[in-house]
Chains A and B, each alone.
Chain A
């Protein structure tokens, strides 16, 4: 099955987002195909994080609609959108710093944990069984991301690169259909970047998860993307496969300026 030929999973239609008088996003329309790696690039302040925040429900656009598998999700709050199968990571790591790595991942299993408070109080039978089941799923993710050694450490004492990894793990624990990664390799050294890219590709290939990637590292973007969308000042200026984007005059202009 060729990637990206399965039809769209996410569709953004004429998205317009304003802060005061500033147009953060202007008439953005694009589709994300099931199972592809889509990169969103653009200079600083182009609106890349804005589109992620709009899709995940943190910003509500004044115009336009977002559809997930044909269902409109524009006006839903973030926690509802999350349960429909969209997970995200943040540009500046946003972890639950007081919890261990294990508990961070378990906290993300929350939407699957349908126990009532009384059985939680007693911790017998159902609640205990559910906790153990969730633990197994989370341990698989810890295995997958090679975090066994740090699973019981508090997140606040972990170094930056590992925190990024925990954040990816937490997004994976939601078992999403789409993962939105906001600069997953920012501030990493080469080795950490290679690890992270390997994980992203593995997630995409093994689990078939659709990935939307916001990234500044052009080598990574050009290497792993199936398609690329380029933003500049809130406008979509180009869309296409990596080779087309490299040659696109508007993209070169946006990044390098005019002669």
Chain B
């Protein structure tokens, strides 16, 4: 389930374990994967698709996918709730930005240190997870959000005011427009997704799920719970740090307001809606919620115009109501998220036309 789509399409049989463990099993699947990858990277060149609005949206989706992949590794696979993810994005963003403007390092040298700094700080906040579970742990991560923001606001004058950051460059090529930056964002999104998927279908992924499902048995099976919980925290915050680095170089501006508690909550909602413990689900969740957000941004003002008795700002307020409602509906009716729907669709396709 969690890692590999075990069942191949009808009529395809694996004759070695190597083949059985593949994700992409048939020629059709290969062709489809490659075509969609090419399409993904060709979007800025296709007319109608390449409007700056859509590209900006897609860049946002890409960066958010990286953040939520990390969160899903920690919350979905390892079962440790984290509601301070955007604080770790902030750590990565500021680290990368400071290295860029003070030491003059280019983005490509900043992105890994940004991820590592974030991971180290994430590990420190992960230490309580040895003793704390569930809501209590969630509170310590909420603490991380508040403490880290507070430090950035009161102890480091530079981060408190915000500062401008240089764009990403390769040689003379400067990625300073959405159309150009799109390639960088998608490159990172695809790479990080690939890494996450592979990690989660091999040893570490199984260890994480083992800890989530039954920590006593996991310990009896030789899994060092403390080490693996910390590892999950570090992977989660490393992803956040890398995404933060991308974000500040994309906006060319690092400021506290980009990393709020509300963002952290959004990420949790996206992961829940997409499906806890599923890499594909993370992508679905981010796309679904982002699309919903945009839809409401369009519909909100229209509703406000039609109904003059509503107070000013009710349209954008609607956003929170609807997203909150969606999260509740998903928890009640589809607690396994969009990923579960996707698996049902795949199973239906596989068994069609004899779905019994």
Binding site for B on A (CB under 8 A): 56, 58, 77-79, 82-83, 87-88, 90, 94-100, 102-103, 106-108, 110-111, 113, 115, 117, 120-123, 127-128, 131-132, 135-136, 139, 152, 154, 170, 174
Q: Determine how close the nearest CB of chain B comes to the CB of A183; give it in whole angstroms.
A: 16
Bound state CA distance, A142 and B203, in angstroms? 19
Binding site for A on B (CB under 8 A): 1-3, 6-7, 17-18, 21, 194-195, 198-199, 201-204, 206-207, 209-210, 212-214, 216-225, 231, 277
Is the contact region of chain B dominated by helix, strand, or loop, or is it mixed?
Answer: helix
Is B222 in contact with A139, judged by CB distance below 8 angstroms? no
Taking A98-B1, A98-B209 as given, write out 15 further A-B residue pairs in contact, using a Cβ cutoff of 8 Å, ordered by the A residue number: A82-B219, A83-B222, A94-B214, A96-B213, A96-B214, A98-B277, A103-B206, A107-B206, A107-B209, A107-B221, A108-B222, A110-B206, A123-B201, A127-B198, A135-B21
Residues of A within 8 A of B224 (CB): 79
Is B210 in contact with A99, judged by CB distance below 8 angstroms? yes
Residues of B within 8 A of A113 (CB): 203
Is A56 in contact with B220, judged by CB distance below 8 angstroms? yes
Is A96 in contact with B199, judged by CB distance below 8 angstroms? no
Bound state CA distance, A82 and B2, in angstroms? 25
Q: Determine how close the nearest CB of chain A comes to the CB of B256; give it in whole angstroms.
A: 32
Is A88 in contact with B202, judged by CB distance below 8 angstroms? no
Is A121 in contact with B198, judged by CB distance below 8 angstroms? yes
Bound state CA distance, A135 and B4, in angstroms? 14
Is A136 in contact with B17, judged by CB distance below 8 angstroms? yes
Tell whether A100 pairs with B17 under 8 Å between CB atoms, given A94-B214, A120-B199.
no
Q: Determine how close the nearest CB of chain A comes to the CB of B212; give it in whole angstroms.
A: 7
Bound state CA distance, A122 and B197, in angstroms? 10
Q: Give the interface centre of B21, B195, B202, B213 by most chain A CB atoms within 10 Å.
A: B202
Task: State which of A96, A106, A135, A139 has its C-beta within 8 Å of the C-beta of B218.
Answer: A96
Residues of B within 8 A of A154 (CB): 1
What are 12 A-B interface contacts by the 8 Å CB criterion? A58-B216, A79-B219, A79-B221, A82-B222, A96-B209, A96-B213, A97-B214, A99-B206, A99-B213, A100-B1, A103-B206, A110-B206
